[in-house]
Amino acid sequence: MTKLIRASILAVTTLVFLIGCAEVPLTERKGLHLVPESQMLTLSLQQYDNVLKEATLSKDQEKVNMVKRVGNRIAGAAEVFLRDSGLEHTIKDYQWEFNLIEDDKMVNAWCMPGGKVAVYTGILPYTRDETGLAVVMGHEVAHALARHGSERVSQGLLVSMGGIALAVALREKPSTTQNLFMAAFGVGASVGILLPYSRVHEYEADRIGLTLMARAGYDPRAAVPFWERMMKQGGARPPEFLSTHPATEGRIDQIKKFIPEALPYYEKSRK
């Protein structure tokens, strides 16, 4: 079983590396992208429009203005950051948009490829102020800049292709054996490929997000108390190795290590 799974994953991974890789800004990690960026942008715009049609947008103009103000400063910093890195072409088709959705039970925010950002009112008690909001929005915009959405889609395709390859290899085996092998492949792919990559994405977004907020004139040290407040939110969390997000304690430790890299940009913005 192990040899078949390894052979399937190796074959598909080799194919993927031949098709295309892209470098993540700042971290310089190579990411896998099987879906054209133009297609990702089209799908993202459609999904964003669908969300807004079903959502209730906040009418609290003060909070709405804060979201747009922080978003525009983060977006401007992102454009300069990518230009300095020689990667400005990666967001040439971005059309930034920032909306505050009225949902006090949803502690969340996200940024789709193309620069479409949504913040839910439920996260505002944890951000508390403009700088805390910059922590969140810098992190979410960083996901888009690093093309994590595209990479996640590509990973799903990779797993599907690996599963198909394994099914072909097992077609001569009894059905019970096939089912057992395919179940093992599914667990191995989730724990061994998809979830670890999700944690990598979160750490990358933290690191890049701190640089973005610092370039935008927000103190990156505010990230630590923000995540401490999130940790006090409570609720059961799965073990880190089975979670798509790093355990909060470990995340705070990593953020503390990233802050010295971002802090000079904040200090420069104050001069």
Q: Report the catalytic residues.
A: 140
The rounded distance, in Å, linking the Cα atoms of 72 and 33 is 27
The rounded distance, in Å, linking the Cα atoms of 2 and 242 is 21
Q: Which of 141, 134, 47 is nearest to 91 (CA)?
A: 141
Contact 34, 16 (CB under 8 A): yes
Residue listed under structure tokens 């990233």: 258
Neighbours of 191 (CB within 10 A): 12
If residue 89 lies in a helix (H) or strand (E), which one and from where to where? none
Cα dihedral sign, 189-192-193-198: positive
Contact 109, 140 (CB under 8 A): yes
The rounded distance, in Å, linking the Cα atoms of 271 and 256 is 24
Cβ neighbors of 164 (< 8 A, separation 6 or more) are none
Q: Which of 3, 45, 5 is nearest to 190 (CA)?
A: 5
Task: Please state whether beta strands 97-101 and 116-120 pair in parallel, antiparallel, or not at all (unpaired).
Answer: parallel
